[in-house]
Amino acid sequence: HEFLGELALDGRLRPVPGVIPAASSAHKSKRHLVVPAASGALAARVPHSRVIPAPDILTLCAHLNGCRPIAPAQGAIAVTDYSYPDLREVVGQQSARRALEIAASGGHNLLLCGPPGTGKTLLASRLPGIMPPPDAEEALTGLALRNMHTQIDIDDYFRRPFRSPHHTASAAALAGGGSKPHPGEISLAHGGVLFLDELPEFNRHSLEILREPMESGQITLSRARHKITYPARFQLVAAMNPCPCGYLGDSERACRCAPEQIQRYRARISGPLLDRIDLHVPVYRVPAADLLAPSGEAEASATVQLRVCRSRQRQEQRQGCANVLLPPDMLASACLLGESQRKSLESAANRLCLSARALHRTLRVARTIADLEEADTIANRHISEALAYRDIDMNQ
């Protein structure tokens, strides 16, 4: 047997974090895991695990002595119909809503740039509600990582995480670590969204930590006494103002920043990090008249999610993964281009000075746009839209 729990003064067993990883470890060791009764259903969610839920120390002793055996815990059916913030609540912002749908469909990273109060955070918080539901393995991995950090509710089993660390968060808070290794925000967002608001305000070193997991889907922490690798397959959604005062390109207020200030502000984000963000989207102010009396009802998250799921299903059937995970050697077969499309992409790549990484990511975005239209081949309009999202200056 293996045991995980806290013994109270009155003999009751109290739940502690880490029951999911403990159940996985016990299963691999072919041992029974004894946990507090309150943790039994959660631990039993690990496939083929053998979990003994004990309410108190006396009941556990009776079980171990063979007097009164405790029935193994059964994995409760997790709730899958979660209530996420609805995209219907976002007024206007059609171009940003379109980018959000593309990001959810292909798993692409997203940068929202616009003046304060234009709805960047509102849009970002709607992404988990239109993403495809996670499969059992992805959900279990994410649940195990979050369970190492804190106690969790079994009803959150299939919920997409949405992590939003403050811009003062340290590199250790983002990456994880410590004398007793624990996952950071990067890993806690596995299978969901990592939202970084006020992106240029983050410490430069903290932002550079994102580069490895954005490519590999995992993060390795090397310390003096240990080396550990955590899963970190997240979707990055970042938000920023276009300049220090925030009003560059705003229709209502004039920008007060000098060109040198704007340049220094944007230089806080490195080129390699921006290169890894597929969709660069300007977010503009919505007119007050539209906010007070919106014309028509916006699409709900459930409607958008149906299109996203159909698109993701096409991707899985074609190549076995989301478009964002397409390896370079599969791009040619998955992203079929005619001569016209090839020349168009080549010309744009030379004009925009796209790196090899940016070119491949643009091609993946074009493939996602085509999948949303249920098109087998990539057309010029798909390439044009994908290239429009590579404009780092946000057209401002």
The least confident of 109-123, 199-213, 282-296 is 282-296
| pLDDT above 90 coverage of the chain, percent | 64
394 pLDDT higher than 90: no
CA distance 314 to 269: 34
Q: What's the chain's average pLDDT?
A: 90
Mean pLDDT, residues 51-75: 91
CA-nearest of 260, 2, 261, 304 to 127 is: 304
Give dist(CA 53, CA 37) in Å, integer.
4
Closest to 186 measured CA to CA, from 132, 128, 229, 135 = 229
Q: Would you state the torsion angle of the CA atoms of residues 165, 282, 362, 193, taken in this order, to the nearest 10 degrees?
A: 20
Do 158 and 80 form a contact (C-beta atoms < 8 A)? yes
Higher pLDDT, 159 or 106: 106
Q: Any long-range contacts for 8-11 (C-beta under 8 Å, 24+ apart)? A: 11/56, 11/57, 11/58
pLDDT at res. 78: 57
Judged against a pLDDT cut of 70, whether residue 366 lies above it is answered with yes
Give the number of other Cβ atoms within 10 Å of residue 32's Cβ: 15
**Run of H or E including 380:** helix 380-388
* pLDDT at residue 294, rounded to an integer: 67
Give the pLDDT mean for 295-307: 88
Domains along the chain? 2-64 (no CATH), 87-292 (3.40.50.300), 322-384 (no CATH)
Q: Read off the amino acid at residue 230.
A: Y
Most confident of 156-170, 184-198, 288-302: 184-198
pLDDT in tens, 375-389: 999 999 999 999 999
Conformation bin of residue 34: beta by default, left when phi > 0, alpha when psi is -120 to 50: beta
What are 181-219's pLDDT values in tens digits? 889 999 999 999 999 999 999 999 999 999 999 999 999
Q: Which pLDDT band, with edges at 50, 70 and 90, does 76 fall under?
A: low
Single-letter residue type at 166: H
Is there a contact between 152 and 183 (Cβ–Cβ < 8 Å)? no
